[in-house]
Amino acid sequence: MDTVIDAHVHIGSSTQDYFQYIRNSNIKGAVIFPHVDEIYARYISNFKDNKKWQNRRKVANDYVLSLKTVEDFKVFPFYFVWNDFNTEKLAFYNGIKWHRHSDEPTYDYKSEKCKGFVNEIQKRNLPVILEEEFENTLLFINSLAPKARVIIPHCGLLNGGYERFCKFTIWEKEKIYTDTSLAEPEIVEDYIKRYGHDRIMFGSDFPFGFPKMQLNEILELEISEEAKEAITTLNILKLLGEKVKQKIDMK
Ligand SMILES: [Zn+2]
């Protein structure tokens, strides 16, 4: 089998062992961003940003950049943004991770800083992995960042559910992508049947999912070989603007 890229990986000081988990597999590259726990205090709903957390966030995002040097492995670092909306180092990243669950502290969508950040990512054409509750997902894709290419992870599982995205015809939008991480195989098959295999990518969501197990689920799907290759390698490379030739270089 060909080279595989994992399109959804969290790596931080406590979750570096990803590389042990993918040993002897075809996974030769990954989209990598920090662990949520290093970005904001997710269990404190009235959490206010502060210097300590801004620094923690900076260290976590910088750490992901330092992984660029991992041998024989292609790292696509994504910047995990929170309410400081720091644009300073965006030039070094291939995309953005934007993440929040309904019971967690909120992004300050009304702030000028937020608008500035979104303008910057649209200008740089950086894809955004957006995990947010449904209303905020709509706000993001329809009014805040209509030009951005957005990956709704887990086939929508944590953004309001897969079916809801079907009902609102969101998967049909040209700029909306998804990943397979933690999604039921039946849902992945249903997505492919309805919307094709050009905007769906394999992801493991490590450390919440195990890469080899998640990959096997995709390889065992009753879909064409062409679809499997698109999902495990080609789609994410195209999305990131990598030449498909790169795939051969990485072997
Ligand atoms: Zn994740």
The pLDDT value given to residue 244: 60
Domain count, the chain: 1
Cα(35) to centroid of ligand 1, in Å? 8
109 φ, ψ to 5°?
Answer: -65, -25
Cα–Cα separations (whole angstroms), residue 205 to 113, 166, 173, 222, 251: 29, 22, 24, 22, 23
What pLDDT digit, counting tens, does each position of 188-242 carry? 999 999 999 999 999 999 999 999 999 999 999 999 999 999 999 999 999 999 8
Cα(220) to centroid of ligand 1, in Å? 22
Cα(113) to centroid of ligand 1, in Å? 24
The pLDDT value given to residue 248: 44
CATH number of the domain at 103, please.
Answer: 3.20.20.140
User: What is the residue-wise DSSP string for 185-231?
Assistant: HHHHHHHHHHH-SSSEE----BTTS-HHHHHHHHHTSSS-HHHHHII
The pLDDT value given to residue 91: 96
CA angle 225, 28, 154 (to 5 degrees): 65
Q: What is the pLDDT along the chain (251 residues), one digit of tens a residue?
A: 589 999 999 998 776 799 999 999 999 999 999 999 999 998 887 898 899 999 999 999 999 999 876 778 999 999 999 999 999 999 999 999 999 999 899 999 999 999 999 999 999 999 999 999 999 999 999 999 999 999 999 999 999 999 999 999 999 999 999 999 999 999 999 999 999 999 999 999 999 999 999 999 999 999 999 999 999 999 999 999 986 654 445 54
Helices 211-219 and 185-195 cross at an angle (nearest 10°) of 50
Tokens in use for 225?
């070989």
Q: 26: which DSSP letter?
A: S
Cα(11) to centroid of ligand 1, in Å? 10
| Amino acid identity at 242 | E
What residues are neighbours of ligand 1 (ion), with CB under 5 Å? 205
Domain that holds residue 84: 4-249
Assess contact for 178 and 153: CB atoms under 8 A. yes
